[in-house]
Amino acid sequence: MNNLVKLFFASFYFASSLVSSAELPNIGSSSSRILSINDEQLVGDDYMRQLRAMAPIVNDAEINDYIQHLGFKLVEKNPDAQDRQFSFFIIRDKSINAFALPGGYIGFHTGLIAKSETESELASVVAHEIAHVTQRHLARRLELQNQLSLPSLAAFAAAILIATQSKNSETGMGALMGAQGLAQQAMINHTRSNEAEADRIGIATLYSAGFNPEGAISFFEKMQENSRYYSNAFEFLRTHPLSRSRITDARLRAREYPRRTHQDRPLYSLMKEKVKAITAKITPITVDKMRKQFKDGEFKTAAEQYGYAIFLIRAKQFDVAHKILKNLRFSDPNQASYAIALAQLDIERKTPTNSIKLILRLLGQSPGNQALVETLAELYIANNEHAKARELLLENIHMTEYAPYLLKLLSEAQEGSGYKSEVFETEGNFLLAMGDLTGARIQFEQALNVHTEDPYARARLNSQIAKIKEFARQRSLRH
């Protein structure tokens, strides 16, 4: 992630997580009277639209589908979450962090997923962030904009980022000292109190969802131990302060529940290895190193071999990747991840017909599987069957709510199948989801000038243009 993107991301993240609590209302109805859940949702929607445009969000359907299912499994077991919207996403960043935005948007860095050792550890972080949303910690921080403005928070966030990453330590510390007036001790105190509450609710949710509550403790202990040696690697500790008393309290809460073991699902291990593979640097040195590890038998599990195959596809080492994936499918023909990886390999090799029947069969067995839908659409497009891709994506258009990048795939399918009148609207919806209000409006206005047989198109387009005007008005009020 380049520095500009990091600064932008930090401004939004710190705006939602590092705000003073000196004059916050108590938890409960008083907060609701000042900032409604609907208003909080509108703010969060706008933050997320802009975040999609600037941050390196992982657009892998399998990984996203996994984190969505894990998130909603935990949401179902949090009784305060039933009236809230949630959406889970992943940021491509090697640091270990997780965060919640207003409106129930919860993000995880790839570094956190890669560092987790069990699914219970990962689930403990998800449950913790859900608790921040349900307890309205974010809404109450937003209310403080009267005392501490969003631009000021962005400046403070940027100063911290410069101080921790600048090669010139004097420049970094100078920037931090310049913004120090914004960093009141109440920020830390408020965060600690919120963390204790999120720990309590998160551990209860973790247990109710069938996970091992000890996963929260092992994650805390891992963070504390490693932070002694890698002080800049664990952003989670900066934004989620961890003390001995917090670990002790969490351990006592976890022990209130009967002892339980949780068997990690194979999909957790596969997606963890896939995250590692898609974020690894592709260089002659890394390719040689991993080749030696594979030759020496260091990739013992199926998940590790799968991750290596994904890495090889990215490194254009197609023959070895194909052999590994074929062996994995032979050992477990029902594991869709292996078939999806083989399909991606066929797309790279320009032999998409080799995988179309297999993915079609798997989709018939698991209708609505986002990863299979996207893979099949990509296979159709690669095979110049754009009409089939368009029909498939339109049948599953609801998926774009959580995966707006599918709209780009739909636009390509519409263009390739001759439905050019639809392309402007689809591109407009994509740009709107990405926070580009001006670009989206231009696309919708162009769509109004194109002839279409759709009798509802004009009303739909005018509705989207009206939404953009309102979004722009609300955004100007917040800034």
Catalytic positions are: 129, 199
The number of beta carbons lying within 10 Å of the beta carbon of residue 398 is 8
- Sign of the CA dihedral running 350, 396, 405, 336: negative
Beta bridge partners, 57, equal 91
Amino acid letter, 404: P
For the chain, the 3-state helix, strand and coil shares in percent, each to the nearest 5, are 70, 5, 25
| Consecutive H or E run containing 107 | strand 105-109
Which of 210, 209, 205, 219 is closest to 251 using CA atoms? 219
What residues contact residue 231 under an 8 Å CB cut-off, 6+ apart? none
List phi, psi (to 5°) of 106.
Answer: -125, 125
CA dihedral 98, 101, 103, 109 (to 10 degrees): -30
* Rounded Cα–Cα distance for residues 100 and 43 (Å): 13
Which of 144, 147, 148, 166 is closest to 156 using CA atoms? 148
What residues contact residue 421 under an 8 Å CB cut-off, 6+ apart? 447, 450, 451, 452, 454
Q: How many helices (H) and strands (E) does the chain have?
A: 25, 3
Question: 3-state class of 39 per DSSP?
Answer: helix
Under a CB-based contact definition with an 8 Å cutoff, are residues 193 and 241 in contact? no
* Rounded Cα–Cα distance for residues 452 and 185 (Å): 60
* Rounded Cα–Cα distance for residues 207 and 77 (Å): 9
Two tokens at 226?
Answer: 């490693």
